């Protein structure tokens, strides 16, 4: 969960920096930050879609541990 929160915060900051690049007409900065943003968004999407990273996935993974007392 912490990794997801950090990625969301980083994505938000990258979007702000991209806006600044657009305001300043900084093409190189825009390209570099846009690429980094795409990478972060894809990684976040992977984390969100991975069943081990969801609450349901954790419960299913740990279900057998609770029944073997």
Segments making up each domain of the chain, as ranges? 2-62
Task: Tell me what pLDDT residue 19 has.
Answer: 98
Task: Tell me what pLDDT residue 50 has.
Answer: 77
Top pLDDT among 66 and 4 is at 4
Q: How many CB atoms lie within 10 A of CB 39?
A: 11
Residues 18-66 have pLDDT tens digits of 999 999 999 999 999 999 999 999 999 998 887 665 566 656 666 666 6
Q: How far apart are CA 14 and CA 29, in angstroms?
A: 11
Q: How far apart are CA 30 and CA 20, in angstroms?
A: 9
Task: Tell me what pLDDT residue 1 has.
Answer: 74
């Amino acid at each position: 969960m912490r990794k997801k929160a950090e990625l969301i915060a980083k994505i938000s900051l990258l979007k702000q920096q991209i806006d600044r690049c657009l305001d300043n007409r900084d093409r190189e900065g825009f390209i570099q930050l846009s690429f980094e943003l795409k990478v972060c968004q894809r990684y976040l999407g992977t984390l969100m879609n991975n069943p081990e990273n969801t609450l349901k996935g954790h419960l299913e993974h740990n279900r057998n541990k609770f029944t073997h007392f």
